[in-house]
Amino acid sequence: MKNANELVIENKMKNKFLVHRSTFVDSEILKMERENIFSKCWIYVGHESEIPNPHDYVTRKVAGRAVILTRDADGRFHTLLNTCTHRGALVCREEKGNSKTFLCCYHAWSFKNDGELIGVPHQAAYGGHFDKKELNMYEARSESYKGFVFVNFDKNAESLEDYLGNAKEYLDLVAEQSPNGMEVIGGSQKYSIRANWKLLGENSIDGYHAAHNHATYFEFLIDDGLDVSSGVVGYGKSLENGHNVVEYKAPWGRPVAKWIPSWGEEARLEVEEIKKELEQRLDAEQAFRMAERNRNLWIFPNLIINDIMSLTIRTFDPVSPDSMDVTAWALGPKDEPESLRARRLDTFLTFIGPGGFATPDDIESLEACQLGFSTMPEVQWQDISRGMHKEEATTTDEEQMRGFWRRWAELMSKEKESEVLSK
Ligand code: FES
Ligand SMILES: [Fe+2]
C-alpha cells in the first residue's frame, strides 16, 4: 500500500487533482479509516427529536459500533456502547422504545439508561471487592448542535461546534426552517450499496452527474409543467475540515418555501404563509436562501443533509471496502399541517426514496464505478480536477469533492500516537 499522502495528488500549477483507486478497494485503507477517521471525528448518531421524552431510546450502528442513544430521567441524552460489560452481549436489541433500564439477555445484568450498572444476579459470588461502578456501560462523548447529535470516540477531540466550523452556516439554514423546531418524521429508509462508502459522499454533492444520470427526473418535471431550461445553477464550496456543500437554484418546488403550479392554488397560499413567517423571523438573505435555494451538505465523513425538493438526513457506514449500509430519515418542521407534511413526504419519496427517481440511478452508477476499481487495477487514478482553474467553483465542478479528499489525506497521513511515542 502507498502512504496515504501519495494517494491524493494535488498539482495547483497544472490544475490536476488525482485520487488513487486503491482508496476504494484496499482493506488496509478501510482499517486505517476506522482508526484515523471514524474513531477521531464527530460522527452523526441521531436527531434529538427521535428521543423526545425521558427514557426514550433508539439503537443504531455508528462508526461500525452498536450504540444506544438514550434520554435519561432528567432529559439528558447519552450515547452508550451497546455491549454488556460482563461478557459482551448486546444489551438492547430493540430498534427503539422507552425504558428506564436495559436487561442483558445473557446473564441478566441490568443497566440504567445512563449506563449505570444496577443489577447483578447473585452478586455475592464475586466477593467483597466487586465494584459495580467499574462496570457501567461505556458512555461515549456526545454533543448536539441544534438537535443533531454526534459522537466522538476520541476524548481529546475538539468541541463539536469547532469541528463543524463553516458548515454551521448551512446547518442553521436547515435547523431553523421552523419556529417550532425540526423533527425526524416516522421511521427510516435502510439499504445497502455494493460500493465504497466515500462514493456516496461524492455522489451526494456532485452536480455534474444530475442532468445525465437523472434525466428521467427532469423529464418528469417537464411532464409536470415545469420549465427546466434554466437548469441547476449555483456554487460548490469546500468548507474546510473536510465538510463541503453545493448551493443552487433549481426548477423543482420546496416544501419550505417555493411553490410550483402542480401543487395547486390552495398550496400556494400555504407556501406563501411559510415564506412570510421566514421573512419576519430571519434576515432577508437567510429567508431567501432557506425558501428558494437548495443545498446538499456533506459533513465529514459520513453525514449528508439534502435540503432539496424535500429534506433528508443520510448516513452511510462502511461494511467492507466495497459495501456500505445507508440509512436515511426525512426531516420536517414540528407541528407541520397535515397537507404540507403529505407534500413533503411525497416529494421525499419521489426523488431520494430508495425507489425514487434518484437513488436507483445513483446506486447503479456507484456500483458500476466499484466494479471498475475492483477488477481493473491497470487504471490507477481518479481525476477530480474539474473547475480547478476557476476562482469560484460551480455545482458541476469538483471543488467540493477535493475539500473532502484534502482532509481525508491529512487525517490518513497522521501517525498513530503509539508510533510517534516509540520513535
Ligand atoms: S453478558 Fe450480559 S449479563 Fe453476561
Ligand atoms: Fe444523484
Q: Dihedral through CA 66, CA 313, CA 154, CA 406, nearest 10?
A: 130
Q: What is the pLDDT of residue 5?
A: 81
The b-or-e profile of 100-113 (16+ CB within 10 A means b, else e) is eebebeeeebbbbb
Q: What residues of the chain score a pLDDT lower than 50? A: 418, 420, 423
Residue whose CA is closest, atom 3 of ligand 1? Answer: 107
Please tell me the distance between residue 62's alpha carbon and the centre of ligand 2 in angstroms: 24
Domains and CATH numbers, the chain: 43-156 (2.102.10.10), 166-412 (3.90.380.10)
* CA-closest candidate to residue 402, choices 389, 415, 416: 389
Please report how the helices 338-352 and 265-281 are oriented relative to each other, as an axis angle in degrees rounded to 10.
100
Residue nearest to atom 1 of ligand 1 (CA): 87
Q: 93: Cβ below 6 Å to ligand 1?
A: no
- Cα 44 to ligand 1 centre (Å): 28
- Amino acid 416: pLDDT: 57
Q: What is the strand order of the sheet 139-145 is part of?
A: 43-47, 148-152, 139-145, 77-81, 65-71, 56-62, 96-98
Spatial distance between the Cα atoms of 230 and 212, rounded to a whole number of angstroms = 15
For ligand 1, whether the C-beta of 334 sits within 6 Å is no
Compute, in angstroms, the gap from residue 222 CA to the centroid of ligand 2: 18
pLDDT of residue 420: 47
Q: Using N-to-C axis directions, what is the helix angle for 359-375 and 197-204, rounded to 10°?
A: 130
Tell me how far apart the alpha carbons of residues 184 and 330 are, in angstroms, rounded to a whole number.
Answer: 6
pLDDT, position 423? 47
CA dihedral of 131, 64, 205, 5, whole degrees rounded to 10: 100
Rounded CA-CA distance 410/356 in Å is 36
pLDDT score for 1:
67
Query: How far, in Å, is the centroid of ligand 1 from the Cα of 107?
Result: 5
Nearest Cα neighbor of 313 from 301, 305, 321 is: 305
Residue 406 pLDDT: 97
| pTM of this prediction exceeds 0.85 | yes
Number of H helices, E strands in the chain: 12, 20
